[in-house]
Amino acid sequence: MSKFYITTPIYYPSNKLTLGNCYTTALCDAIARFHRALGDDVFFLTGTDEHGQKIEKIATAKGMKEIDYLDEIVADTKDLWKLLNISYDKFIRTTDDYHVKAVQKIFNKLYENGDIYKSTYKGKYCVPCESFWSEDQLVDGKCPDCGREVVDADEECYFFKLSKYEDRLKKLYQEGKNFLLPESRANEMINNFFNKGLKDLCVSRKTVKWGIPVEFDKDQTIYVWIDALSNYITALGYLSDDETNFKKYWPADVHVVGKEIVRFHSIIWPAILMSLGLPLPKLIFGHGWLVYGGGKLSKSKGVDKKEMLDPRVLCARYSSDAVRNFLIGEISFGQDGPYSQELFLNSFNGILANKVGNISSRLIGMICKYNDGLINGKIHSLPEDEIFVAKIKELKADCIQKIKELKPTLSYKSALRIIDECNTYIDVNKPWELAKQDDGSQRISAILYYATQAMLEAYTLLDAFLPEKIASVLKLFGIEKVKIDENACCNFKIDGIKVEKIQPLFARLDLNKEQQELDEIANKE
Ligand code: MSP
């Protein structure tokens, strides 16, 4: 059994989370579930990033204590993850006591190692991104990441000697070890940061009170990104009384993050780990954005509210599988992809209703019609059935391989192709024609048997991607807990099982009606 440690970024509870925020988490969840089904010992971490100037400002504006504001919004975040069927193993809050203590110890260690010194920071600060910028890094005087106004920062603070690690960091990228994927992101880091030379980083704030105090200088709070990045090890118990999980799971197999925060993960985080003398994560994966009208789908970016429907509404109306299907299947992992209500609804009908849902109601309907609901073996199999099984085996292997290569969109598509193959097999063999022949019934049994095996292969692979609905069909065939056996194919023990007709898992939507209703909901919001 191999261990597999996967993380999402921890979310800013600055707003109720949007569909864009669901992206990283849904993808990581599918990957984590798939690895569990393969038998790996998975640790899947997510959580919330609760300190910093942004949260301080929001709470003040609301006239609330920071922690009261946070408790509310974190509860809402957890509810959303429940709705989306997110199977995290741990949810970390950076206000958790154990995290606060460990971050203070981490800061002390960096200081004791001679990597932190006191000086004065003069420059710009982007509050929404919690990022420091120099004048020459700004684009039209604004934050190069989010395009928003920056403010002046001029204060005494502690600096981390990032420049000391420049050569070691560069090597990470030059040695071609695929530390950061997709490759284009690594090129971006080299061109935008390494080629300009790494400057030491301000790692504490005097004017921000909502943060973790530096233990040896209580006037200063630790810069929120140092606090946040450390979550990946503090969640495992690093520098606590119990480091069992840290010893077992670190280094992370992959940190999955959105492209705008790649630089924190691929430059600052490895430098901190180098200073702490810890192994580096095996991989940083920088995914793209869900975009609308050319920009990031985000509440603050002026996106038409009709297109900014709450993911909670989408889950309630169409199931969490519908949201996951769109995020995983329609946006190629690593690239940006467009979002609109129309695309979402079309994908529901095209993939979920026509393929995933249809195959089980169609096949079970035929088993009931031609075989009294009974699965009774492959007695009358022909060589073409073996060819069919070989094709399914190939697609299954591809689906597994793609998840191991961290290509969830392609993995999902391979599983869907098994359904296409299954439909073609039924269409070519025409059980309805055989039913008219006196000696057709045994051949019908064999066809339905092989088609069911293929459907179960598809469904066991799809369960990680669509965990809400598929399990009910698997249960009908005696599969309670999904296990993916890499060495077997079409070998489920289903002989003698009796099934009854089922309703389609995903009923086809009337697109015009849905679009209209969604617009009404959005207008009311
Ligand atoms: N708090 C930091 C992360 C610290 S990790 C040590 C942060 N939080 S965030 O809430 O702003 O973003 C969390 C994740 O949501 C990021 O990976 C971000 O890319 C993702 N998304 C937010 N909107 C998105 C889209 N429209 N599309 C895809 N993902 C996007 O950054």
* CATH code of 476's domain: 1.10.730.10
Cα–chain center distance at 387:
35
Residues 21 and 249: their CA atoms lie apart, in Å, by 25
Q: Which residue has the tokens 């959105």?
A: 258
Q: Could you tell me if residue 408 is inside a domain? A: yes
Give the per-residue pLDDT at 147. Answer: 87
Q: Could you tell me if residue 348 is inside a domain? A: yes
Q: Is 132 helix (H, G, I), strand (E, B) or coil?
A: strand
pLDDT higher than threshold 80 for residue 301: no
pLDDT higher than threshold 60 for residue 313: yes
Query: Based on the number of CB atoms within 10 Å of its own CB, is 139 exposed (0-12), middle (13-18) or buried (19 or more)?
Result: exposed
H runs (alpha helix) in 15-52 = 19-37
pLDDT higher than threshold 70 for residue 141: yes
Cα–chain center distance at 247:
24
Q: Could you tell me if residue 405 is inside a domain? A: yes
Q: How many residues are given for the chain?
A: 525
Give the per-residue pLDDT at 161. Answer: 98
pLDDT average, residue stretch 51-63: 92
Q: Above pLDDT 90, what percent of the chain?
A: 78
CB 115, CB 275: distance < 8 Å: yes
The pTM for the full model equals 0.94
Residues sharing a CB contact under 8 Å with residue 50, sequence separation 6 or more, in sequence order: 13, 66, 70, 74, 93, 94, 95
Q: What are the C-alpha distances in Å from 389 to residues 151, 254, 449, 492?
A: 63, 34, 11, 13
Average pLDDT of the chain is 93
Q: Which domain holds residue 423?
A: 342-517
DSSP state of 241: S
pLDDT higher than threshold 90 for residue 155: no
Cβ–ligand 1 contact at 9 (below 6 Å): yes
Tally the C-alpha atoms within 13 A of residue 362's C-alpha that lie toward its C-beta: 21
Q: Which residue has the tokens 């009606």?
A: 513
Q: Above pLDDT 70, what percent of the chain?
A: 96
- Amino acid identity of 60? T
* Chain segment 445-489, per-residue pLDDT in tens: 999 999 999 999 999 999 999 999 999 999 999 999 999 999 999
**Which residues on neighbouring strands pair with residue 5, listed in sequence order?**
43
Give the per-residue pLDDT at 309. Answer: 73
Q: Could you tell me if residue 438 is inside a domain? A: yes
**Which residues on neighbouring strands pair with residue 117, listed in sequence order?**
159
Q: Could you tell me if residue 423 is inside a domain? A: yes
Can you tell me which atom of ligand 1 is nearest the CA of 290? 27
Task: Give the confidence band of 297 by pLDDT, cuts at 50, 70, 90.
Answer: low
Centre of ligand 1 from the C-alpha of residue 77, in Å: 13
| Whole-angstrom Cα Rg for the chain | 26
pLDDT higher than threshold 70 for residue 275: yes
Centre of ligand 1 from the C-alpha of residue 11, in Å: 6
Query: Based on the number of CB atoms within 10 Å of its own CB, is 130 exposed (0-12), middle (13-18) or buried (19 or more)?
Result: buried
Give the per-residue pLDDT at 292. Answer: 75
Comparing CA positions, the residue from 508, 509, 500, 510 lying closest to residue 472 is 500
Task: Give the confidence band of 335 by pLDDT, cuts at 50, 70, 90.
Answer: very high
Comparing CA positions, the residue from 466, 504, 509, 508 lying closest to residue 363 is 504
| Peptide bond before residue 182 is cis, with ω within 30 degrees of 0 | yes
Give the per-residue pLDDT at 53. Answer: 87
| Token digits of residue 300 | 């603050």
Query: Atom 16 (ligand 1): residue with closest C-alpha?
Result: 258
Task: Give the confidence band of 308 by pLDDT, cuts at 50, 70, 90.
Answer: low
Cβ–ligand 1 contact at 269 (below 6 Å): no
| Strand 151-160 to 337-338 pairing | unpaired
pLDDT average, residue stretch 22-46: 98
Q: Which residue has the tokens 């200088």?
A: 217
Residues 104 and 71: their CA atoms lie apart, in Å, by 23
Q: Angle CA(316)–CA(322)–CA(323) in degrees, nearest 5?
A: 80
Task: Give the confidence band of 238 by pLDDT, cuts at 50, 70, 90.
Answer: very high
Give the per-residue pLDDT at 208. Answer: 87
* Chain segment 6-27, per-residue pLDDT in tens: 999 999 988 888 899 999 999 9
Centre of ligand 1 from the C-alpha of residue 259, in Å: 9
Residues 346 and 340: their CA atoms lie apart, in Å, by 10
Q: Which residue has the higher pLDDT, 15 or 422?
A: 422
Q: In what order do the strands lie in the sheet with 337-338?
A: 295-296, 290-292, 337-338
Q: Could you tell me if residue 225 is inside a domain? A: no
| Token digits of residue 194 | 């390494």
DSSP per position, 46-73: EEE---SHHHHHHHHHHT--HHHHHHHH
Can you tell me which atom of ligand 1 is nearest the CA of 11? 10
Q: Which residue has the higher pLDDT, 303 or 91?
A: 91
CB 455, CB 425: distance < 8 Å: no
| Token digits of residue 374 | 């009974």
Centre of ligand 1 from the C-alpha of residue 20, in Å: 8
Task: Give the confidence band of 494 by pLDDT, cuts at 50, 70, 90.
Answer: very high
Ranges 60-74, 303-317, 411-425: which has the least confidence = 303-317
Task: Give the confidence band of 154 by pLDDT, cuts at 50, 70, 90.
Answer: confident
pLDDT average, residue stretch 228-238: 98
Query: Atom 17 (ligand 1): residue with closest C-alpha?
Result: 258
* Chain segment 337-374, per-residue pLDDT in tens: 998 889 999 999 999 999 999 999 999 999 999 999 99
Give the per-residue pLDDT at 304. Answer: 54
Residues 314 and 308: their CA atoms lie apart, in Å, by 11
- Amino acid identity of 507? A
- Amino acid identity of 84? L
Comparing CA positions, the residue from 164, 150, 158 lying closest to residue 121 is 158
Number of structural domains found in the chain: 1
* Cβ atoms within 10 Å, residue 328: 23
Cβ–ligand 1 contact at 10 (below 6 Å): yes
Q: Which of the given ranges, 286-295, 334-343, 494-503, has the highest pLDDT on average?
A: 494-503
Give the per-residue pLDDT at 295. Answer: 61
Cβ–ligand 1 contact at 23 (below 6 Å): yes
Q: Could you tell me if residue 306 is inside a domain? A: no
Task: Give the confidence band of 522 by pLDDT, cuts at 50, 70, 90.
Answer: confident
Residues 325 and 22: their CA atoms lie apart, in Å, by 12
Q: Could you tell me if residue 64 is inside a domain? A: no
| Peptide bond before residue 281 is cis, with ω within 30 degrees of 0 | no
Residues 70 and 372: their CA atoms lie apart, in Å, by 57
